[in-house]
Amino acid sequence: MELTVESLVFLLFSLITLGGALLVVTTRNLFHGALFLMLSLFGVAGLFALLTAPFLAGIQVVVYIGAIAILIIFAIMLTPQVTAVRPTNSQWIAGLVVAVVLFTMLASVVTPLMSELGVEGWGAAFTETNPPPVPGNSIALLGEAFVDPDGYMLPFEVASVLLMAALVGAVMLVRPGPEDEDDALPPALAEAAGAAPLGESQE
């Protein structure tokens, strides 16, 4: 890989993405984690831009960083267990091993490394470097495709219904019941909580 401006920019965004992600899963402070998530998502937006998908890059910033991440920050604020003595559970080593093995497996499949090492028939080496250019009016084509009856109009409408359903469902779930307006624990559950100590005591 020659060292061009484009490749330097790619490396920069890649580092932002992966580094942010690593910090998300390792930081003790959940609020910091959310901020790192925003960083990582911003890196992904950069990668989209590099791939000449400016519309998606914009959406990434607006929807993910602007909406989802903010939503997560709200959730963190509403559930006051922001910092944890022990952020990981008892199986974290197994999870790490599984993640590393998965990464190794995927990497060996998508990179030409194995064929360079002389192993035949191992995955597919995605070595394309010069794809055809993107049409100039790709955003316009995308917009038309969403509303074209022969294109993606039906999935588009279904997606809107899904969003509506999710919205209503979320409202229903968090709406306080008449008996727990002051966030008090119902007596039965308080007993259960007393009998089986919850997470805080372990942290």
Of residues 40-59, those binding other proteins (CB under 8 A):
40-41, 44, 47-48, 50-53, 55-56, 59
Task: Look at residues 67, 73, 86, 71 and name the one whose alpha carbon lies nearest to residue 33.
Answer: 73
What are the structure tokens assigned to 2, written together? 């020659």
**153-172 positions binding other proteins, by CB under 8 A:** 155, 159, 162-163, 165-167, 169-171
How many other C-beta atoms lie within 10 A of the C-beta of residue 46? 20
The nearer residue to other proteins, 130 or 149, going by C-beta atoms, is 130
Q: How far is the CB of 20 from other proteins (least distance, A)?
A: 9
The verdict on 122 binding other proteins (CB under 8 A) reads yes
Of residues 54-113, those binding other proteins (CB under 8 A)? 55-56, 59-60, 63-64, 67-68, 71-72, 74-76, 78-79, 81, 84, 86-89, 91-92, 94-96, 98-103, 105-112
* Burial class for 37, CB neighbours closer than 10 Å (0-12, 13-18, 19+): buried
What are the tokens at 201?
């005591």
DSSP string, 93-136: HHHHHHHHHHHHHHHHHHSTHHHHTT-TT-S-------PPPPPT
Q: Can you tell me whether residue 91 is helix, strand or coil? A: coil
Site for other proteins in 18-37 (CB under 8 A): 18, 21-22, 24-25, 30, 33-34, 37
**Within positions 170 to 199, which residues make up the interface with other proteins, using CB under 8 A?**
170-171, 173-174, 176, 180, 183, 185, 189, 193, 198-199
Q: Note whether 12 binds other proteins by CB under 8 A.
A: no
CA 145/CA 61 separation, integer angstroms: 22
